[in-house]
Amino acid sequence: MTIWESPSQLDRVEDRRGDDAWVAGLWASPQARVLAVSEDGRLAWADDGLDLRPVSGARDERHLLAGLVGSVPVFVETGAELPGAPVLRTVMDGLDGADLQVAFTAAALADWHRRAGFCGECGATTVTTRAGAGRLCVSCAVEHYPRVDPAVIVAVTDADDRLLLGRQPVWAKGRVSVFAGFVEAGESLEQAVHREVFEEVGLRLGPPRYFGSQPWPFPRSMMLGFAADATDTTLTLDETEIEAARWFTRDELDAALEAGEVSLPMGTSIAHRMITAWRRRDLRR
């Protein structure tokens, strides 16, 4: 089981975070840690991991309570100046467990708060509420909460259990992956699976089977993984989106990886997890 299939190691303390005195107590705790995030998504970083520093100074609007990791309160400090620090995407493969969940949560929260300063209902200013879980309009009192954009990601196999991998023109040379796209308004996840695959490679599919999900805070996606069998193997590519696509047997993929002809998505991605599951004959669960 991956961390995304298990209970979160970050307890969001939903039942208590509305109690400001309790949150002030967390901030005052000697165990409390703060992770700084810059406006442009850089994370405080020390050598080979998140730079989770002891809390100092007064708590203000910039400080969001991510939650508790065990008994350690973890806050996010938004709007920090972090010249030279890395963005999440470049370092996430080096993170695991609670640190990866803290980093994803910090990036997602910081990005949403940065954009949610004005009420979508009336245009007035919003302020942080529930220790950073939401924002409250100072005029019409509507509460706003972080949005996620659902996206489907699909591992397409054929009757011989070959896997279809494609590449977008903008990707690094040789990078291949499974197929993904955003869910549109009024559409089910399964309909998005059928539509995306037909648009990108011209294939019709049997019933999509749910694989698993993963947050993808770039800036605010939720990746919903599916596997599906294609009804035939003839590809018709949408070349603006897909530069090339090819059916691989496991041996062919091993050989192409070995020869350096192709490379796989980042280890932290659900795409990597899906491709790995197929390589282990574990996609059909």
Contact residues for Zn ion (CB under 5 A)? 119, 121-122, 124, 137, 139-140, 142
In the complex with Zn ion, the residue whose CB is nearer, 123 or 174, is 123
CA 57, 59, 60, 64 dihedral sign is positive
CB of 120 to Zn ion, least distance (A): 8
CB of 65 to Zn ion, least distance (A): 23
Q: Can you list the alpha helix ranges (DSSP code H) found in the chain?
A: 20-28, 88-91, 97-115, 189-201, 250-258, 270-279
CB of 145 to Zn ion, least distance (A): 14
CB of 138 to Zn ion, least distance (A): 8
In the complex with Zn ion, the residue whose CB is nearer, 128 or 177, is 128
CB of 135 to Zn ion, least distance (A): 10
C-beta of residue 93 within 8 angstroms of C-beta of residue 104:
no
Say if residue 214 is exposed, middle or buried (CB neighbours under 10 Å; 0-12, 13-18, 19+): buried
E runs forming strands in the chain? 33-38, 45-46, 49-50, 53-54, 63-69, 72-80, 126-129, 134-137, 143-144, 149-157, 163-167, 179-182, 209-216, 221-229, 244-248
In the complex with Zn ion, the residue whose CB is nearer, 142 or 257, is 142
| Rounded distance between C-alpha atoms, residue 153 and residue 134, angstroms | 28
In the complex with Zn ion, the residue whose CB is nearer, 122 or 244, is 122
In the complex with Zn ion, the residue whose CB is nearer, 24 or 122, is 122
CB of 130 to Zn ion, least distance (A): 17
In the complex with Zn ion, the residue whose CB is nearer, 101 or 126, is 126
